Amino acid sequence: MPIHCVSFTTDYGLSDGFVAACHGVIARIAPSVRVIDVSHQIPPQQVRTGAEVLAQTAPYLPESVHLAVVDPGVGTARRGVVVVTGRGMLVGPDNGLLIPAAETLSGVIAAYELAAPEYRLPVTSSTFHGRDVFAPAAAHLALGVAPEEFGPRVDDLVRLPDPFVAVFPGKLVAEVLTVDHFGNVQLAASPADLELAGLTGTVSVSSEHVLVKALVGDTFGTVPPGRNVLYTDSAGRLAVAVNGGSASAVLGLGPAQECTITSSPTAT
C-alpha cells in the first residue's frame, strides 16, 4: 500500500544544495508524497545523535517512510537497507542509525538490502548515496513497491552500543546524547538513574573542565534566569539547561562527551 509521507533526517546542514537535491529526487519519482523534514542539523558524522533525534520524533509523525542519512561510511562496504516496522519503514545506511527509531515504531519486522539497480538513480556517486540510493528507495517505497523487491533479506543489522551510563551512590556519569537549538544538554541517563544515585536538591554538574551547581527541578523556570537546572526532558531523559542560556556553552559539552552529576554542591 502507498504511504503518503516521507520523513527526512540528515547531517547535511542547510548551506549547500544536498537537502534540496534529495527533495527533488523524491518529488520527481513520487510527486504526491509529502516530505516532513525532521532535522538537517545533526552534527556531522554523529550517528548516535541522528539516531536519537529520529527515535524521539518518529512516534509523533504519521505513518511514513523514514529517510535518514548520517553516513560516515558512504561509499564503503557498509550496506544500505530498508527496515520494516509495525508502523512504517526506515531507509538509510546500516550503521545503527535506524534501529532506535525502529524500536519506537513497534520494532523491527524485517530488513532488506538496497541492492536492486532499478530503484536507484542510473548514475550513483560514491559520496552522495542520500541523493542517488536512499532518496529514490524512499520514494519507491512510498509509492507501494514492496520492501523485499529491493534486495536480499538482512538478519544482522548493525546496532549502536548502548550509551554510557554509570550509577554510584551520590554520583551519576552519563554520555551526552543530543544538544538542542537552545543549548540544552540531553543525557543518556533517566530519572530512575538519578533516584538510584540518591541525587536530589542542589547537585554539582561537571564536564571535563567545568563544574557548576544545578537544582533538580521540573522545568526551566524552576530556577531564576541564568541559573542551571537538571530536569526530565520531553523524551524522558535527564537534561541540563540554563534558564535563558545555553548549558552546552557553559559546560563545554556536546554529543558523545560525558557529564558527571554528584551530590557535592561545591561549585559557584
User: Rounded CA gap, 233 and 191, in Å?
Assistant: 10
The answer to whether 137 touches 124, Cβ cutoff 8 Å, is: no
Predicted confidence (pLDDT) per residue in 94-147, tens digit: 999 999 999 999 999 999 999 999 999 999 999 999 999 999 999 999 999 999
pLDDT digits (tens, 9 = 90+) for 2-29: 899 999 999 999 999 999 999 999 999 9
- Please state, in angstroms and rounded to a whole number, the distance separating the CA atoms of residues 190 and 188: 7
Classify 176 as helix, strand or coil. strand
Looking at residue 146, the DSSP 8-state letter turns out to be: -
Mean pLDDT of 201-205: 97
**How much of the chain exceeds pLDDT 70, in percent?**
98
Helix/strand/coil for 9: strand
Residue 1 — pLDDT band, cuts 50, 70, 90?
confident
Local confidence band at 200 (pLDDT 50, 70, 90 cut-offs) = very high
Which helix (H) or strand (E) element contains residue 29? helix 18-29
On average, the pLDDT of the chain sits at 96
Contact partners, residue 113, CB within 8 Å, separation at least 6: 79, 80, 81, 94, 150, 151, 152, 153, 154
214-240: pLDDT as tens digits: 999 999 999 999 999 999 999 999 999
pLDDT digits (tens, 9 = 90+) for 110-120: 999 999 999 99
- Give the pLDDT confidence score for residue 267 in this predicted structure: 44
Round to whole Å and give the CA distance between 26 and 91.
13
Strands (E), the chain: 5-10, 34-39, 64-69, 80-85, 88-93, 108-113, 165-168, 171-179, 185-187, 202-206, 211-216, 228-232, 238-242, 258-262
